[in-house]
Structure 1
Amino acid sequence: MSAEKKPAPKVEPLRKTRPCPECGKPSQREHYPFCSNRCRELDLSRWLSGSYAIPVAGDEAMADGEDEN
């Protein structure tokens, strides 16, 4: 008795369509959560240029571990 292994079908989970964070159009599966490669690359460009930065709250000296005596 020989059992032939059949390749499993490629199944991609469906994601809920959301508005593109850049332009508001419905997202596409290939570019999720964006609607197009253009919007995805625009967002990446903002990350790489430092436009998305987390503001520092408090004294930076305290964050470096320096004690105030």
Structure 2
Amino acid sequence: MPASSIDCPICGRPVEISDPHLPFCSERCRLLDLGNWASGRYAIPTAISEQESAGDGEVSERPKDEGE
């Protein structure tokens, strides 16, 4: 049997599955989450190349072989 509510990811209050703000409990929590993304507090991890991890973060373009 599926759950009839989940916890708001911002404040932890229970949210009914039928709530229009799902997964948030309110417009306020929805906007706080949006602000976290906009400010860079949340980030999606990416793979770091060997060149990036060995250097200072700058990646120079590799020259193309003439055969390509």
CA deviation map 1:5-63 (0-9, x unaligned): xxxxxxxxxx8410000011011412100011110000000111111112344337478
TM-score, normalising length: structure 2: 0.57
TM-score, normalising length: structure 1: 0.56
Runs of 4 or more above 2 Å deviation:
54-67
1:33 and 2:33 matched: no
Between structures 1 and 2, the one with greater strand share: 2
Unaligned runs of 5+ in 1: 1-14
Q: Distance in 2 between matches of 1:25 and 1:51?
A: 21
1:18 and 2:6 matched: yes
Larger Rg over CA atoms:
1
Q: Distance in 2 between matches of 1:66 and 1:53?
A: 28
